[in-house]
Amino acid sequence: MNLRFLDQVGLASAVTAILSALLSMLALDSPRWERRFTTCLREHNIRADLTRRYYDQRPRQLYALVPHLALRAPIGRRTDRFRLRARRAAGLPEPLRRDSALAARQWINTVGAFASEAAKSRVDLRPFLATYHLGVIREGVIAVPLAMCMAAEQRLEAEERDRLSWGLALVELAVAYNSHARQQREAVYFAAAEHGPPIGPVLRPPGAWRRAFYDVAEIFGPALRLPRWGRWRWDRWLRGIDLTAATP
């Protein structure tokens, strides 16, 4: 009985010593934890403010244009998919074409502005994308080709072109989140209508070897930020395909 009691006392002492050591380490590192808490709180407030000011005002009527821009045959290259959808946008009848231009401009000035401000603030968008990434992807598939058509016809101002590039950068970040996050990685479709099957996929899931790589990367939960140079990359990408977007 005494030996058992001594063993219990020894175990309790060891646990106490370990907890004391951990508390001492945390106390020594408290400035670091305080900085992390302050940074997380700051970024949360920035995301909430940007979402309220911009993203919540995005156009909801884009989904009505899905059947008009849908590609009924699989197209391998992404640039070809964007170009072909932009051609379909150029051929929309009035007043549908006028309404599509209004929706595209509203998307640029809400989603594009949100992305631009998020990049300037260097805010982590992973929590935002955990809720909104599917909407960003689906709406971007429609809005970007509409805006490309307008750009090809020189109906976009310089600031709108800039925001269009930022909007596309956000779409690509949402695509990355859908591929990386283990709870996602599904093909993305537009919902089925009563008279037809789902439209898509507009995004396919990553292959097996990519999944294995992402599994390792996601252990560290890296932040998802829009780089400040991201706009330049996607503006150049758009310029490589939008000059012929409106050509029949």
pLDDT band at 230 (very low <50, low <70, confident <90, very high): confident
Q: Higher-confidence residue: 17 or 84? A: 84
pLDDT, tens digit (0-9, with 9 covering 90-100), for 141-181: 999 999 999 998 889 999 999 999 999 999 999 999 998 88
pLDDT band at 112 (very low <50, low <70, confident <90, very high): very high
The answer to which of 103-107, 116-120, 242-246 has the lowest mean pLDDT is 242-246
Q: What percent of the chain has pLDDT over 90?
A: 48
Please determine, for residue 242, whether its predicted confidence score (pLDDT) is greater than 50.
Answer: yes
Please determine, for residue 55, whether its predicted confidence score (pLDDT) is greater than 90.
Answer: yes
User: What pLDDT score does 245 carry?
Assistant: 46
Among candidate residues 226, 236, 232, 233, the one with its CA nearest the CA of residue 116? 226
pTM of the model: 0.81
Please determine, for residue 25, whether its predicted confidence score (pLDDT) is greater than 90.
Answer: no
pLDDT band at 195 (very low <50, low <70, confident <90, very high): low
Q: How far is CA 19 from CA 7, 22, 23, 223, in A?
A: 18, 5, 6, 30
pLDDT band at 128 (very low <50, low <70, confident <90, very high): very high
Please determine, for residue 8, whether its predicted confidence score (pLDDT) is greater than 60.
Answer: no
pLDDT, tens digit (0-9, with 9 covering 90-100), for 206-226: 887 778 777 777 787 789 999
* Average pLDDT estimate for 111-130: 95
Please determine, for residue 247, whether its predicted confidence score (pLDDT) is greater than 50.
Answer: no
Tokens of 48: 């909430």
* Average pLDDT estimate for 13-29: 63
3-class DSSP assignment, residue 203: strand
Q: What is the mean pLDDT of the chain?
A: 84
134: region left, alpha or beta (phi > 0 left; psi from -120 to 50 alpha):
alpha
Among candidate residues 108, 95, 227, the one with its CA nearest the CA of residue 162? 108
Q: Higher-confidence residue: 112 or 1? A: 112
